[in-house]
C-alpha cells in the first residue's frame, strides 16, 4: 500500500512485535518446565501443554504438581520463613526492589511472553500488565521498608498459599507475592494452568535477584493442585478466580484457623447519565469491556444508559465497535486479541446462544480463521433479571438496559449478587458524588474506568469476595497482630438449685428492634450465681435470629448518620453506664462468682468512650495515583454484623464488639455471654435511655451453638464474628460460605479483653471503597 493510499483510507498497517526473544527464552529452558521449589527448578514431570490461544501452537510443556511436589514447596517455604522475616523490613525491601528492577529490565520479554501465553494484545501487556506488576514490587519494597515504623504491632502470618487466575497472569502474581514478601511471609504460588509461563519467568528473575531459596515457590498444574495447596499446612490462602471455587475454598478452609482472602467475580455496572460526555463514555466502554477481551473480574459488563440518550448512545457504540480491530495479539495495532482458551470460548458462545430476549450486535470485524477469537458483542434490551444481566460472561460481551432516574440507576446497578466495581459517567459533579457512595462496590470510577494502582486497594463486597489487594489495607491480609494467643477454655454456666435470691419472677426477654421481645420458642433457662438463682433468660431460636436481623437490616439509616452523632450516642451510653456502675458491678460479680465486676464495668465505659472518640476520626485516605485524579479510600460500614460475644467477660465482651461496630455505622445482632447473660439483658435499659435508634443494637440470649448457624447463614448478615468460649469456627465459616460473608472467628483461641483491641474491631467493622475521581490538571 502506498503512502497516498494509507492517507486516503487511514487504515493501520500491521505492526507486529517480534516473538523471537520470548520463544528463544522458552527454548533455553528446554521447552519443558518443572516447578520452582526451594530456589531451583525441579526436573520436568508428567504434565500438559501450554498453548498460544491466538494460533493453537504449543509453547511449552508444564508439569502437573503431585502431592509430594506441593508438600516439598510448602516445606521449603516453611523453612525459609523465619530467616526471611528476621531480615527485617529494610533487608527485604532490597530484594523487592531488585525484583522490580529486573522486571523492568526484562519488561519487553515479559510482555511478549504474556501475550503469547494469554492472547491479550501486546499494547495491554506492554503498557498495563507488566508496568503495573513492576509498580507493585516497587510500592511494596517501600512497604517493607516502613513495616517496623508504621506497623509496629504487625507480624507476618507465615506461609501463604496463593492461587491465581489466567486473565492477568503476572499482574495477579505481583498483587499476591509483593505484599506477602514485604511483610515477611514466604509463598507457594500456583499460576492458572492456561497461563503459567510468566510466573516461571518470574522464578528465573527471583534467582537472578538472589532471593533466598524457599521464599518464593511456584508449582504448576490445574485445580487439583489448587486443592492440594488449600489442604496443605499453610497459614493463609489468597485466591483470585471464580465465585464457585472461592466458595468451595471458604468451605474447605473453615475452622482451620487460616487467613483467607477471596477476590472473585463481578458483573460491574457502567452507568451513563444523559449529561455524560458520550464520546468519552464510549471510549471508556472500550476499556471497560473490550480490554483483555472482557476477561476482567471488574469489567464494566453491565451497561445502564439513561433512557433519553439510549438510542443515540447505542448507535454510536455500535459504530465504535465496528471500528475495533481484532486479530494477532502481537500486532501493536490490535484492540482485541484472543480469548484465553477454547474452553473459555465455548463458555462465551454458550452464554450468548442462551439469549432469548435481547438484540445482539456483533462487531463487524472479521475473525481470523484459526485461534480462539470472539467478536466484541453488545446485547441490548435485556430485563434486569435476565441471566445474561446477572451472570458473569467473562468475555467481550456487553449487556445493557436503560433507566430513567438516578434512583433507578442505583437500584439497577446494585441489583446483583456481586459488588466488585462500578463506573459512573456524568458531567454533573453533584450527581457523580451523590451516586458513587450509593453503589455497592469495592471500587467506583467516576468518568473513567478500569484504573488500578498499587496504592489503591482493590477488592469487592458481597459475593465478589473479601479482603483488599494493594494499599495499606492490602497489608492487613498478610499480617496479624503480634502477641501470644490464649487457648480457648469453655466456660460452663454456674449450676445450682434452691430458692431464688429475689422471690419476684425475673425473666429477661430478648432485645429486638428497640423493644423487649419474648423468645419465639417460649423457653427460658435459669441463671444461677454462687448465692442462688439470679433470674431467667429467654432462649432465642432461629426465628428470633431472623427477627433480629430484620430489625437490624431495617435500621439502615444508622449508616447515613454522621460520625459526630454516633460519637455523641456512644458517649451517652458510657455516661449512663457510669451512672449505674455499682449495679452492673454487683450483677457481674454475682454471675461469675469473682470480684472482677468493677474493673469490667470501668473498662466497658472506657471502650465506649474510645469508640466514641474514633467515630468521627477513623477516616479514609486520599491516594495520589498516577492518573489525572485521586483515589478516595472511603471507610464504609460492613452492614449488619452478627456476633457471638465472649462468655468470660459478660459486659466488656459485648461492649467491646458493639461499640466500634456501631461507631462505624453498622447494626449489630449480638448473642450475649452464654453462661452469664444478665449483664447484657440489663444493658437494654442503658440502650433505651441513650437515644440508640431501634434496630441498631439487637441482643439475643441462649445457646451460642444454636445461634451460630442461623446467624452465619442469614443472607442479610454481612459479617459474622465469634468470641464464644464454644469453638464454633468451623460451623460458622462453613455457613458463611453461602453468601461469602466476612467472618472473624476465634479458632480455639481467646482475646484478652482487658486489652483494648478497638483498632482491630474498627478495621473489621469497615470496608474500604476506593472512589477514583478526576482531580487537578
Write out the catalytic residue numbers.
263
Residues from 423 through 462 that contact ligand NAI (CB under 6 A): none
**Which of 17, 335, 392, 463 touches ligand NAI (CB under 6 A)?**
392
Measured from the CB of residue 459, what is the shortest distance to ligand NAI in angstroms?
Answer: 11
Strand 397-403 versus strand 377-380 pairing type: parallel
Residue 274 CB partners (closer than 8 Å, separation 6+): 306, 307, 308, 309
Determine, following the binding rule CB under 6 A, whether residue 738 of this chain makes contact with ligand NAI.
Answer: no
**Which of 248, 256, 757, 760 touches ligand NAI (CB under 6 A)?**
248
How many beta carbons lie within 10 A of that of residue 415, not counting itself? 16
Residue 647 CB partners (closer than 8 Å, separation 6+): 490, 491, 653, 673, 674, 675, 676, 704, 724, 725, 726
Instruction: Characterise 300 by phi-psi region: left (phi > 0), alpha (psi -120 to 50), beta (else).
Output: beta
Determine, following the binding rule CB under 6 A, whether residue 396 of this chain makes contact with ligand NAI.
Answer: no
Please, which residue, 339 or 548, has the CB nearer to ligand NAI?
Answer: 339
Please, which residue, 38 or 251, has the CB nearer to ligand NAI?
Answer: 251
**Which of 131, 142, 212, 223 touches ligand NAI (CB under 6 A)?**
223
**Which of 114, 129, 193, 718 touches ligand NAI (CB under 6 A)?**
193
**Which of 282, 297, 378, 658 touches ligand NAI (CB under 6 A)?**
297
Alpha helices in 125-196 (DSSP H): 130-150, 169-182
Stretch that binds ligand NAI, among 9-17, 70-78, 222-230, 488-496 (CB under 6 A): 222-230
Please, which residue, 170 or 720, has the CB nearer to ligand NAI?
Answer: 170
**Which of 264, 345, 475, 638 touches ligand NAI (CB under 6 A)?**
264
Which string of x and - marks every residue 555-594 that binds ligand NAI (by CB under 6 A)?
----------------------------------------
Stretch that binds ligand NAI, among 110-118, 126-134, 158-166, 735-743 (CB under 6 A): 158-166
3-state percent breakdown (helix, strand, coil) of the chain, nearest 5: 45, 20, 35
Residues in binding contact with ligand NAI, number by CB under 6 A:
25
Stretch that binds ligand NAI, among 162-170, 329-337, 573-581, 621-629 (CB under 6 A): 162-170
Stretch that binds ligand NAI, among 75-83, 165-173, 523-531, 584-592 (CB under 6 A): 165-173
Please, which residue, 227 or 575, has the CB nearer to ligand NAI?
Answer: 227
If 0-12 CB within 10 Å is exposed, 13-18 middle and 19+ buried, where does residue 655 land?
Answer: buried
Alpha helices in 361-428 (DSSP H): 387-390, 406-413
Task: Report which secondary-structure segment, H or E, holds 207.
Answer: helix 197-208
Determine, following the binding rule CB under 6 A, whether residue 644 of this chain makes contact with ligand NAI.
Answer: no
Please, which residue, 177 or 548, has the CB nearer to ligand NAI?
Answer: 177
Stretch that binds ligand NAI, among 17-25, 163-171, 173-181, 685-693 (CB under 6 A): 163-171
Task: Give the span between the Cα atoms of 209 and 726, in whole angstroms.
Answer: 48
Instruction: Characterise 119 by phi-psi region: left (phi > 0), alpha (psi -120 to 50), beta (else).
Output: left
Measured from the CB of residue 284, what is the shortest distance to ligand NAI in angstroms?
Answer: 20
Strand 259-263 versus strand 397-403 pairing type: unpaired
Determine, following the binding rule CB under 6 A, whether residue 394 of this chain makes contact with ligand NAI.
Answer: yes
Task: Give the span between the Cα atoms of 762 and 742, in whole angstroms.
Answer: 14
Residue 763 CB partners (closer than 8 Å, separation 6+): 476
Measured from the CB of residue 291, what is the shortest distance to ligand NAI in angstroms?
Answer: 13
Determine, following the binding rule CB under 6 A, whether residue 192 of this chain makes contact with ligand NAI.
Answer: yes
Which string of x and - marks every residue 113-152 that binds ligand NAI (by CB under 6 A)?
----------------------------------------
Determine, following the binding rule CB under 6 A, whether residue 95 of this chain makes contact with ligand NAI.
Answer: no
- Cell numbers placing 217: 515457590
Measured from the CB of residue 36, what is the shortest distance to ligand NAI in angstroms?
Answer: 16
Task: Give the span between the Cα atoms of 444 and 466, in whole angstroms.
Answer: 16
**Which of 78, 190, 623, 769 touches ligand NAI (CB under 6 A)?**
190
**Which of 39, 226, 519, 574 touches ligand NAI (CB under 6 A)?**
226
Residue 766 CB partners (closer than 8 Å, separation 6+): 618, 635, 636, 637, 638, 664
Please, which residue, 249 or 712, has the CB nearer to ligand NAI?
Answer: 249
**Which of 65, 230, 289, 549 touches ligand NAI (CB under 6 A)?**
230
**Which of 47, 158, 265, 284 touches ligand NAI (CB under 6 A)?**
265
Measured from the CB of residue 249, what is the shortest distance to ligand NAI in angstroms?
Answer: 6
Measured from the CB of residue 394, what is the shortest distance to ligand NAI in angstroms?
Answer: 4
Determine, following the binding rule CB under 6 A, whether residue 245 of this chain makes contact with ligand NAI.
Answer: yes
Which residue reads 521447552 in cell numbers? 31
**Which of 186, 240, 301, 426 touches ligand NAI (CB under 6 A)?**
240
How many beta carbons lie within 10 A of that of residue 564, not counting itself? 9
First-last CA distance in the chain: 41
Determine, following the binding rule CB under 6 A, whether residue 399 of this chain makes contact with ligand NAI.
Answer: no
Measured from the CB of residue 395, what is the shortest distance to ligand NAI in angstroms?
Answer: 8
Instruction: Report the candidate in 186, 200, 191 with the shortest Cα–Cα distance to residue 173.
Output: 191
Stretch that binds ligand NAI, among 130-138, 224-232, 364-372, 625-633 (CB under 6 A): 224-232
* Cα dihedral value 546, 552, 553, 559, nearest 10: -160
Measured from the CB of residue 314, what is the shortest distance to ligand NAI in angstroms?
Answer: 25
Determine, following the binding rule CB under 6 A, whether residue 347 of this chain makes contact with ligand NAI.
Answer: yes
Stretch that binds ligand NAI, among 16-24, 54-62, 188-196, 598-606 (CB under 6 A): 188-196
What are φ and ψ of residue 771, in 5° steps? -110, 115
- Cell numbers placing 285: 466502554
- Return the beta strands (E) in 183-330 as ranges: 186-190, 216-218, 236-240, 259-263, 269-272, 302-306
Determine, following the binding rule CB under 6 A, whether residue 682 of this chain makes contact with ligand NAI.
Answer: no
What are φ and ψ of residue 573, in 5° steps? -60, -45
- Cell numbers placing 253: 478452609
How many beta carbons lie within 10 A of that of residue 283, not counting itself? 13
Determine, following the binding rule CB under 6 A, whether residue 222 of this chain makes contact with ligand NAI.
Answer: yes
Residue 454 CB partners (closer than 8 Å, separation 6+): 132, 135, 136, 138, 139, 140, 178, 470, 471
Which spans of this chain sit near ligand NAI (rule: CB under 6 A)? Answer: 163-167, 190, 192-193, 222-223, 226-227, 230, 240-242, 245, 248-249, 264-265, 297, 347, 392, 394
Amino acid at each position: 500500500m502506498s503512502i497516498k493510499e494509507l492517507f486516503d483510507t487511514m487504515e493501520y498497517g500491521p505492526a507486529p512485535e517480534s516473538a523471537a526473544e520470548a520463544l528463544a527464552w522458552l527454548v533455553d529452558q528446554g521447552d519443558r518446565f518443572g516447578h520452582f521449589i526451594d530456589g531451583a527448578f525441579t526436573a520436568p514431570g508428567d504434565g500438559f501443554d501450554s498453548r498460544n490461544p491466538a494460533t493453537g501452537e504449543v509453547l511449552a510443556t508444564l508439569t502437573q504438581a503431585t502431592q509430594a511436589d506441593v508438600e516439598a514447596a510448602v516445606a521449603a517455604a516453611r523453612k525459609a520463613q523465619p530467616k526471611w522475616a528476621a531480615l527485617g523490613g529494610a533487608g527485604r525491601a532490597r530484594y523487592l526492589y531488585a525484583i522490580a528492577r529486573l522486571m523492568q529490565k526484562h519488561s519487553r520479554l515479559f510482555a511478549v511472553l504474556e501475550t503469547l501465553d494469554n492472547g491479550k494484545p501486546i499494547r495491554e501487556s506492554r503498557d498495563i500488565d507488566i508496568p503495573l506488576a513492576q509498580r507493585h514490587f516497587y510500592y511494596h519494597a517501600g512497604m517493607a521498608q516502613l513495616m517496623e515504623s508504621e506497623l509496629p504491632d504487625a507480624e507476618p502470618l507465615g506461609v501463604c498459599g496463593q492461587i491465581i487466575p489466567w486473565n492477568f497472569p503476572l499482574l495477579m502474581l505481583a498483587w499476591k507475592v509483593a505484599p506477602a514478601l514485604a511483610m515477611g511471609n514466604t509463598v507457594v504460588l500456583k499460576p492458572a494452568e492456561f497461563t503459567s509461563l510468566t510466573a516461571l519467568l518470574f522464578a528465573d528473575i527471583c534467582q537472578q535477584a538472589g532471593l533466598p531459596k524457599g521464599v518464593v515457590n511456584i508449582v504448576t498444574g490445574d485445580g487439583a493442585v489448587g486443592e492440594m495447596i488449600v489442604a496443605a499446612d499453610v497459614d493463609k490462602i489468597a485466591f483470585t478466580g471464580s465465585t464457585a471455587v472461592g466458595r468451595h475454598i471458604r468451605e474447605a478452609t473453615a475452622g482451620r484457623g487460616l487467613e483467607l482472602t477471596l477476590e472473585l467475580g463481578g458483573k460491574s455496572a457502567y452507568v451513563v447519565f444523559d449529561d455524560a460526555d458520550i464520546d468519552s463514555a464510549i471510549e471508556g466502554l472500550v476499556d471497560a469491556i473490550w480490554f483483555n477481551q472482557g476477561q476482567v473480574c471488574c469489567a464494566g459488563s453491565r451497561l445502564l444508559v439513561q433512557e433519553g440518550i439510549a438510542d443515540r448512545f447505542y448507535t454510536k457504540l455500535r459504530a465504535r465497535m465496528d471500528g475495533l480491530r481484532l486479530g494477532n495479539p502481537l500486532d501493536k495495532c490490535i484492540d482485541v486479541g484472543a480469548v484465553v482458551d477454547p474452553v473459555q470460548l465455548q463458555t462465551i458462545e454458550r452464554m450468548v446462544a442462551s439469549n432469548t430476549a435481547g438484540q445482539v450486535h456483533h462487531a463487524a470485524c472479521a475473525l481470523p480463521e484459526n485461534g480462539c477469537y470472539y467478536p466484541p458483542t453488545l446485547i441490548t434490551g435485556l430485563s434486569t433479571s435476565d441471566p445474561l444481566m446477572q451472570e458473569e460472561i467473562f468475555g467481550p460481551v456487553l449487556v445493557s438496559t436503560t433507566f430513567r432516574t438516578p434512583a433507578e440507576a442505583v437500584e439497577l446497578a446494585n441489583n446483583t449478587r456481586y459488588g466488585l466495581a462500578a463506573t459512573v459517567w456524568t458531567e454533573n459533579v453533584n450527581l457523580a458524588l451523590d451516586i458513587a457512595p450509593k453503589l455497592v462496590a469495592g471500587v467506583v470510577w467516576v468518568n473513567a474506568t478500569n484504573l488500578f494502582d498499587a496504592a489503591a486497594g482493590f477488592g469487592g463486597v458481597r459475593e465478589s469476595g473479601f479482603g483488599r489487594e494493594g494499599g495499606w489495607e492490602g497489608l492487613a491480609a498478610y499480617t496479624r497482630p503480634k502477641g501470644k494467643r490464649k487457648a480457648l477454655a469453655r466456660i460452663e454456666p454456674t449450676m445450682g438449685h434452691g430458692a431464688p435470691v429475689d422471690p419476684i419472677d425475673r425473666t429477661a426477654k430478648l432485645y429486638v428492634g428497640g423493644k423487649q421481645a419474648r423468645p419465639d420458642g417460649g423457653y427460658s433457662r435459669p441463671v444461677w450465681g454462687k448465692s442462688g438463682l439470679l433470674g431467667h433468660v429467654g432462649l432465642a431460636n432461629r426465628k428470633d435470629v431472623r427477627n433480629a436481623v430484620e430489625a437490624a437490616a431495617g435500621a439502615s439509616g444508622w449508616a447515613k448518620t454522621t460520625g459526630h452523632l454516633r460519637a455523641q450516642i456512644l458517649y451517652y451510653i458510657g455516661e449512663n453506664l457510669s451512672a449505674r456502675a455499682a449495679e452492673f458491678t454487683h450483677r457481674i460479680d454475682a454471675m461469675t462468682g469473682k470480684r472482677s465486676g468493677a474493673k469490667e464495668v470501668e473498662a466497658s465505659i472506657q471502650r465506649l468512650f474510645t469508640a466514641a472518640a474514633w467515630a468521627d476520626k477513623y477516616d479514609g485516605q486520599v491516594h495520589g495515583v498516577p492518573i489525572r485524579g485521586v483515589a478516595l479510600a472511603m471507610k464504609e460500614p460492613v452492614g449488619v454484623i452478627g456476633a457471638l460475644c465472649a462468655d468470660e467477660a459478660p459486659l466488656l465482651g459485648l461492649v467491646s464488639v458493639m461499640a466500634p461496630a456501631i461507631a462505624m455505622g453498622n447494626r449489630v445482632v449480638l448473642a450475649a455471654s452464654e453462661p452469664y447473660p444478665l449483664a447484657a439483658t440489663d444493658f437494654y435499659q442503658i440502650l433505651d435511655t441513650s437515644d440508640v435508634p431501634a434496630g441498631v443494637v439487637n441482643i439475643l440470649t441462649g445457646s451460642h451453638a444454636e445461634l451460630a448457624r442461623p446467624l452465619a447463614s442469614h443472607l442479610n448478615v454481612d459479617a459474622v464474628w465469634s468470641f464464644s468460649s464454644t469453638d464454633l469456627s468451623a460451623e460458622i465459616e462453613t455457613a458463611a460460605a453461602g453468601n461469602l460473608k466476612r467472618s472473624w472467628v476465634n479458632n480455639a483461641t481467646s482475646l484478652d479483653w482487658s486489652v483494648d483491641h478497638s483498632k482491630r474491631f474498627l478495621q473489621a467493622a469497615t470496608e474500604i471503597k476506593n472512589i477514583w475521581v478526576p482531580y487537578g490538571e
